Homo-oligomer: A and B are copies of this chain.
Amino acid sequence: MSHIVTPFEHEVEVRYGETDQMGVVYHANYLLYFEEGRTKMMAALGLPYAEVERRGCALAVRKAALRYRSPARYGETLVVRTWIEKLGGASVLFQYEIVRKDSRERVAEGTTELACVDLRSPSRPVCMVPEDLREALRSALPPA
């Protein structure tokens, strides 16, 4: 199992197509940056999310909350900071903070709660987080 430093940080460069006519990143796109944070953190933990789905388990977003602080613009490099706030029996609460790379000014923050669902059953029922996934995610919890 891999160890990571939390919050896990990765960089995002704002794409032109992610802006809107206000000249800033369209608010829905921060959910894509959050998702990329989860993806890259899980890869760093040694358990890529694509592999999790291949094993028959998905993490489906059940709740999301976002707070926009200062609009990001095309050409800017952002740092997405991702960690796990709570690891439940059948769900995981991810937390995110996005800052400008240069000034570390806060751009946005938020949480997403994901439920573990069983892809092998057509009705996709909620299921317990598999032990190997739980083990990997535990390393992304903040120190007690």
Q: Name A residues whose Cβ lies closer than 8 Å to a Cβ of B.
A: 13, 15-17, 19-24, 26-29, 31-32, 35-36, 39-40, 48-51, 58, 60-68, 71, 73-75
**CA of A15 to CA of B40, assembled, Å:** 10
Are A67 and B62 in contact, CB atoms less than 8 angstroms apart? yes
Task: Tell me the dominant secondary structure on chain A's binding face.
Answer: mixed
Contacts of A49 in B (CB 8 A): 16, 75
Q: Which residues of B contact A31 (CB under 8 A)?
A: 17, 27-28, 31
* Residue of B whose beta carbon sits closest to that of A28: B31
Q: Which residue of B lies closest to A69 (CB)?
A: B62
Q: Which residues from B are CB-within-8-Å of A19?
A: 20-21
Q: Are B15 and A36 in contact (CB-based, < 8 A)?
A: yes
> Would B21 and A74 count as touching, CB distance under 8 A?
yes
> Are A32 and B48 in contact (CB-based, < 8 A)?
no
Task: For A39, give the chain B residue with the smallest CB separation.
Answer: B16
A50 touches B75 (CB 8 A): yes
